[in-house]
Amino acid sequence: MPVLNTMRTSFFLTLAAIGSAIAQRPANTSICDYYTTALFGNSNATNEYSLLVALVNTVVIGNYTKPNVGVRVPGILTPGLYNGVLSDILPFFNGALASSNRGGSSGVAINFLDDGGAAPLMKSMPAYTTTSNQYKLMTHLYQFFGSLLGCSAYGSTGFPAYSGSASMASVHRFMDLDPTDLGYFIAQVALAAASFGVADTDVAAVGAALQSLFGYRCAPPTTVIAAQGAQLQSVCEDDTCPLAPNATCAAYPAITPAMDANATGAATASMGTGVGAMTVTWNETCGCHMTQPASNASFSVNMSPTSTMSSASATATGSMTQASNAGVGMREGLGALALAIAGVAFVL
């Protein structure tokens, strides 16, 4: 943790200066390696992992430090509107819903904000200890996105390989996610990347990859983590989710909607200082998000993706071509980020 905190100041000072002036990324350089070098000076395990910590923490809790390049990120724990529909996925994280898959026929309630909630994330840490649900979730997210974004030091000393579940369909089985909740999550990833000065084309590539891999109902087995091989990966299995080409619906287990934890009698972990008792709101003075008592504060995202994608299997370690056509508009208080995703070829 001391290394991450030491790197934090120089990272954000560099980020302030770099803004949106980053040159076009070479086609043979991964998104992770390119922006690690741009923001830290060189790409190694420590710097790449530090970048993923900053990126993922911002996705979860929103902008947590100043400076940034002027893109406001609410974070996935803040309720918001996606295409005019409210998305509130905090209950999946704070134990309010019995939505976690632990191998049974129904979900169980687990508090993934049990080790400080937003507080350690604001310090560029995953949690305060290494034995909590929060630590496990956050470090798995760092590792997973490190592979997805092509970090060259992934799997080496200083950047552990992903050690979580191979099938995202299995992990999310009892969440019953729909296009609104998944779309809002992907929008937060895109906004977080943009807030670090990532070029629009690369932001679009990341968004297209996430939608292609996880956003199509009954998608056939796909490789995301090379060492784990092809697995069922769709997390959007609601009837309103777009159907994948070459759909394999019979391979997916029946979806059981998440139940209220109190209604099911499921046990939940202590909330501690987690975000479950608060909301994250934008503070104009510091140009960042601050934790506040729970309120009805929300954020709006409008997005109009089509329901088509390439039938080719996508992998996280090689060249991926998306045949997804989408017009994406993300408008928020500090400006608008317009993205056009149209047959984008990129390296992850």
Residues contacting 184, CB < 8 A, separation 6+: 76, 80, 82, 87, 89, 301
Confidence (pLDDT) at 341: 24
Bridge-based pairing of strands 80-82 and 288-293 is unpaired
* Regions of the chain short of the pLDDT cut 70: 1-23, 66-67, 263-348
Instruction: Give pLDDT tens digits for 44-60.
Output: 999 999 999 999 999 99
Domain ranges of the chain: 2-347
Confidence (pLDDT) at 339: 28
Confidence (pLDDT) at 300: 57
Confidence (pLDDT) at 23: 61
Confidence (pLDDT) at 262: 74
Confidence (pLDDT) at 124: 95
Confidence (pLDDT) at 69: 85
pTM of structure: 0.75
Confidence (pLDDT) at 154: 98
